[in-house]
Amino acid sequence: MRPLNLSEGRAAGGREIWAVGSGKGGTGKSFLTASLGIALAKLGKTVILVDADLGGANLHTCLGMGAIKSSLSDFIQGRADAITDVMVDTPIPHLKLISGAHDILDIANPTHHRKQALMRAIRRLDFDYILLDLGAGTAFNTLDFFLVANKAILTVLPEPTSIENAYRFIKAAYFRYIKTVARELDIRRLVEESMDARNAMGIRTVHDLLERVRQQNPETGRKLAEDLFAMRPRLVVNQVRTLDDVTLGFSMRSSVEKYFGIRMDYAGYVEHDDLVWRSARERKAVVHAFPYASPARCVDRIVQNLVKDTQLELDWVMAKQ
Amino acid sequence: MTHYKEADYYDLLEVRPDALPAEIEEAYKRQMELLSGESLATYGLFVADDVVHFRQRVEEAHRVLSDPARRRAYDAAAGFADATAEAEPEAAVAAGAPEALVAHEAGAAPQTEAVPQAEVVPQAEVVPQAEAVPQAEAVAEAAPVAPPVTMSGGPPEGEAPEPVEAAPPAEPAQEPLRVPGPGALPPFGPPSTEATAEAAVAPDAGAVKPAGDGERFDGPAMRAVRERKHITLSSISQNTRIAEYYLEYIEAERFDSLPPPIYLRSYVRQYAAAIGVDEDRAVDEFLARYNDGRNGKS
Q: Which among A158, A205, A257 is the nearest to B40, CB-wise?
A: A158
Question: A300-304, B41-45, B241-245: which has the highest mean pLDDT?
Answer: A300-304
Averaged over B157-179, what is the pLDDT? 39
Identify the CATH homologous superfamily for domain A16-159+233-320. P-loop containing nucleotide triphosphate hydrolases (3.40.50.300)
Cβ <8 Å between A258 and B1: yes
| Alpha-carbon gap: A184 to the closest alpha carbon of chain B (Å) | 20
The predicted structure's pLDDT at residue B49: 77
Alpha helices by DSSP H, listed for chain B, are: 9-13, 21-34, 48-65, 68-78, 89-96, 98-106, 116-120, 126-132, 134-142, 163-170, 193-201, 219-228, 233-240, 244-252, 261-275, 279-297
DSSP for B30-55, please give it. Answer: HHHHHTSS--GGGTTT--HHHHHHHH
Residues above pLDDT 70, as percent of chain B: 53
A265-271/A234-240 β-pairing: parallel
Indicate whether B289 belongs to any domain.
yes
Question: Are B160 and B237 members of one domain?
Answer: no
Task: From B30, B52, B73, give the residue that closes a domain.
Answer: B73
Contact predicate A266/A315, CB 8 Å: no
Q: Rounded to an integer, what distance in angstroms lies between the CA atom of residue B163 and that of residue B140?
A: 6
B26 interface with A at CB cutoff 8 Å: no
3-class secondary structure, A270 = strand
Question: Are B57 and B129 members of one domain?
Answer: no
B296 confidence band (pLDDT: 50, 70, 90): low
Look at A1 and B52; give whichever has higher pLDDT.
B52
Q: What are the tens digits of pLDDT across the range B10-34?
A: 999 999 999 999 999 999 999 999 9
A114 interface with B at CB cutoff 8 Å: no
Indicate whether B59 belongs to any domain.
yes
**Closest residue of chain A to B54, computed from CA coordinates:** A259
Domain hosting residue B272, numbered range: 193-297
**Closest residue of chain A to B14, computed from CA coordinates:** A254
CB atoms within 10 A of CB B291: 12
Q: Rounded to an integer, what distance in angstroms lies between the CA atom of residue B247 and that of residue B234?
A: 9
| Alpha-carbon gap: A202 to the closest alpha carbon of chain B (Å) | 10
What does the buried/exposed string (b/e) look like for B248-262 if buried means 16 or more CB atoms within 10 Å of the residue's CB?
bbbbebebebbbeee
Which chain A residues are Cβ-neighbours of B12 within 8 angstroms? 258
B252 interface with A at CB cutoff 8 Å: no
Indicate whether B219 belongs to any domain.
yes
* Distance between first and last Cα of chain A: 46
Distance of CA B39 to the CA centre of its chain: 34
Q: What are the tens digits of pLDDT across the range B83-111?
A: 444 444 444 443 443 443 333 434 444 44
Phi, psi (5° rounding) for residue B208?
A: -115, 120
A23 interface with B at CB cutoff 8 Å: no
The predicted structure's pLDDT at residue A181: 87
- Read off the pTM: 0.65
Q: How many CB pairs lie under 8 A apart between chains A and B?
A: 69
Look at B108 and B51; give whichever has higher pLDDT.
B51
Which chain B residues are Cβ-neighbours of A259 within 8 angstroms? 3-4, 42, 45-46, 50, 54
Domain count, chain B: 3
Contact predicate B219/B198, CB 8 Å: no
B3 interface with A at CB cutoff 8 Å: yes
Residues 53-92 of B with CB under 8 A from A: 54
Question: Are B61 and B129 members of one domain?
Answer: no
What DSSP state is assigned to residue A115? Answer: H
Indicate whether B109 belongs to any domain.
no
Which chain B residues are Cβ-neighbours of A258 within 8 angstroms? 1-4, 7, 12, 54
Question: Are B224 and B284 members of one domain?
Answer: yes
Which chain A residues are Cβ-neighbours of B34 within 8 angstroms? 251, 254-255
Contact predicate B115/B275, CB 8 Å: no
The predicted structure's pLDDT at residue B1: 59
**Closest residue of chain B to A229, computed from CA coordinates:** B257
B248 interface with A at CB cutoff 8 Å: yes
A14 interface with B at CB cutoff 8 Å: no
The predicted structure's pLDDT at residue A206: 93
Of B249-253, B272-276, B291-295, least confident by mean pLDDT is: B291-295
Q: Rounded to an integer, what distance in angstroms lies between the CA atom of residue B159 and that of residue B143?
A: 13
What DSSP state is assigned to residue A33? Answer: H
Contact predicate A79/A90, CB 8 Å: no
Q: How far is CA B296 from CA B19, B265, B292, in A?
A: 33, 20, 6
Please, how many CA atoms are within 13 Å of residue A64, restricted to the half-sphere of its CB? 17
Averaged over B278-286, what is the pLDDT? 90
What DSSP state is assigned to residue A19? Answer: E
Q: Rounded to an integer, what distance in angstroms lies between the CA atom of residue A29 and that of residue A131?
A: 11
Hey, what's the torsion of the CAs at B119, B122, B128, B132, to 10 degrees?
140
Indicate whether B165 belongs to any domain.
yes
List CB contacts of A295: < 8 A, sequence separation 6 or more. Answer: A35, A270, A271, A273, A275, A276, A286, A287
| Alpha-carbon gap: A205 to the closest alpha carbon of chain B (Å) | 9
Question: Are B150 and B241 members of one domain?
Answer: no
Question: Are B227 and B202 members of one domain?
Answer: yes
A129-134/A151-156 β-pairing: unpaired
Averaged over B266-292, what is the pLDDT? 89
Phi, psi (5° rounding) for residue B98?
A: -55, -40
Indicate whether B119 belongs to any domain.
no
Which chain B residues are Cβ-neighbours of A252 within 8 angstroms? 41
Q: How far is CA A315 from CA A36, A243, A251, A283, B262, in A?
A: 24, 13, 14, 37, 17
**Closest residue of chain A to B38, computed from CA coordinates:** A160
Burial class of A24 by CB neighbour count within 10 A (0 to 12, 13 to 18, 19+) = buried
CATH for B47: 1.10.287
Contact predicate B8/B266, CB 8 Å: yes
* Distance between first and last Cα of chain B: 23
Indicate whether B42 belongs to any domain.
yes
3-class secondary structure, A222 = helix
Helix (H) / strand (E) element for A86: namely: none
Indicate whether B112 belongs to any domain.
no
3-class secondary structure, A130 = strand
Question: Are B133 and B203 members of one domain?
Answer: no
**Closest residue of chain A to B260, computed from CA coordinates:** A229
Which chain A residues are Cβ-neighbours of B247 within 8 angstroms? none
A95-98/A87-89 β-pairing: antiparallel
Averaged over B31-46, what is the pLDDT? 89
Cβ <8 Å between B44 and A165: yes
Taking chain A (321 residues) in runs of 10, the rounded mean pLDDT of each run is 40 76 89 96 95 79 86 84 93 93 59 83 94 86 88 96 94 92 87 85 90 90 89 96 95 93 95 92 90 94 95 88 76
Q: Rounded to an integer, what distance in angstroms lies between the CA atom of residue B68 and that of residue B19?
A: 12
Rounded to the nearest integer, the mean pLDDT of chain A is 88
Averaged over B172-182, what is the pLDDT? 37
Cβ <8 Å between B42 and A251: yes
